[in-house]
A and B are shown apart, each in its own frame.
Chain A
Amino acid sequence: MKLEEEVVRRQRERARIVAWLLGAFVVLLFLITIAKTGMNW
């Protein structure tokens, strides 16, 4: 595999993981909000 191809592959892989993590974070924030609202803190 060429160096450029490997760079692109790694960048894509990292971008995909960051996207999944951001999505999970949004869901987590939503659940935290629901839990804290329910607790009336």
Chain B
Amino acid sequence: MPAMDMTNPAVLPADWRDFVALTKPRVMYLVVFTGLCGLLAAPELPPAVLGFTAILCIALGAGACGALNQWYEAELDGKMRRTARRPLPDGRMDRQSALHFGVGLGFFSVLLMGLATNWLAAVLLAASILFYVLIYTVWLKPRTPQNIVIGGAAGAFPPLIGWVAATGHFAALPLLLFAIIFLWTPPHFWALSLFVRSDYAAAGIPMLPVVAGIENTRRQIFLYSLPMAAAAVAPWPLGLAGPVYGGCAAILGFVFVALAARVLANRAAEPAGMAPEKHLFAFSVFYLFALFAVLVADRWLTS
């Protein structure tokens, strides 16, 4: 790995692909999808071009978060195998370019959201970016093993923003969607952090498995999966979604809790023996996609 030089800017101007990589496009899919579902689940839909712009702004806001996160954590990323090939620790881009790109993208996304949809959605988008960068990345992540629990709120904003962009106001359903992602984030990230915990330990990041141990993390994963599954079913008994959604949410939640129980029962301490954790992590991504897709389908079927 080339040595990282923070003082001497790179000789070559960064390649445009490195700017794309800075936005963490693989993480963006889920953000964009949940934002889109929040928008499509709303009782009134904006014209297509305004809906498209709202989702574009959510994607750009997420990109700004990714860029500013990588700008701030450039040195930490260099210490972790999983992140060492990113543009900044790999020396393919200077830090100032990443900072300017992230700040510019953030301002642009908020301004465009306000102009295209409404300023409440723009304020929510700005709040989610600031929450992710300042509260999660700068404040919580390097200090507390509860970083994911509170920081998870940043990733829970998109469906709320999508709904508010479409309607201009809050409602019970998008707040529940916020709660579902908020409760989903800890088991999702802790499952990952269990099998990459040596990376986090090497970088000195106090993720739960590093600070509280593997067994405690497995117990926390299982405990969080229970209210998450309950919150996911809640829109049905509350009359905010139909039985199609309720049935699918119950089945998906049952599988999630069953996989979390397998994680709880696992005794392996090395990543090679952590198949249940890897299965839970993979399923958690599918779970969120499926849950939100079914919600939109259910809303459209019943409306």
Query: Which residues of A does B touch, CB under 8 Å?
Result: 3, 6-7, 10-11, 13-14, 17, 28, 31-32, 34-36, 38-39
Contact = CB atoms under 8 A, between A and B. Distances in A.
Nearest to B17: A13
Contact of B12 (A7, A17, A31, A36): A7
Contact of B47 (A11, A14, A17, A35): A35
Contact of A38 (B11, B14, B47, B56): B47
Interface of B: 11-16, 46-47, 49-50, 53, 56, 115-116
24 contacts: A3-B12, A7-B11, A7-B13, A10-B12, A10-B14, A11-B13, A13-B16, A14-B13, A14-B16, A28-B49, A28-B53, A28-B56, A31-B49, A32-B49, A32-B50, A32-B53, A32-B115, A32-B116, A34-B49, A35-B46, A35-B49, A35-B50, A36-B50, A39-B46
A6 to B, nearest CB: 6
A29 B108 CA distance: 13
A16 to B, nearest CB: 9
A7 B13 CA distance: 7
Given A32-B53, A32-B115, A32-B116, A39 B12 contact: no
A17 B50 CA distance: 24
Nearest to B51: A35
Nearest to A32: B116
Contacts of B49: 28, 31-32, 34-35
A3 B11 contact: yes
What 4 A-B pairs have minimum CB-CB distances, sorted nearest first? A35-B47, A31-B49, A35-B49, A10-B13
Contacts of B11: 3, 7
B37 to A, nearest CB: 22
A6 B49 CA distance: 39
A3 B46 CA distance: 50
Contacts of B46: 35, 39
Contacts of B53: 28, 32
A27 to B, nearest CB: 10
Nearest to A10: B13
A41 B273 CA distance: 58
Nearest to A35: B47
Contacts of B14: 10
A35 B47 CA distance: 7
Nearest to A31: B49
Contacts of A13: 15-16
B80 to A, nearest CB: 28
B50 A10 contact: no
A7 B47 CA distance: 43
A13 B20 CA distance: 14
A38 B50 CA distance: 12
A34 B46 CA distance: 13
Nearest to B13: A10
A3 B47 CA distance: 49
A12 to B, nearest CB: 10
A17 to B, nearest CB: 5
The interface centre, meaning the residue of A7, A17, A28, A38 with most chain B CB atoms within 10 A of its CB, is: A28
A30 to B, nearest CB: 10
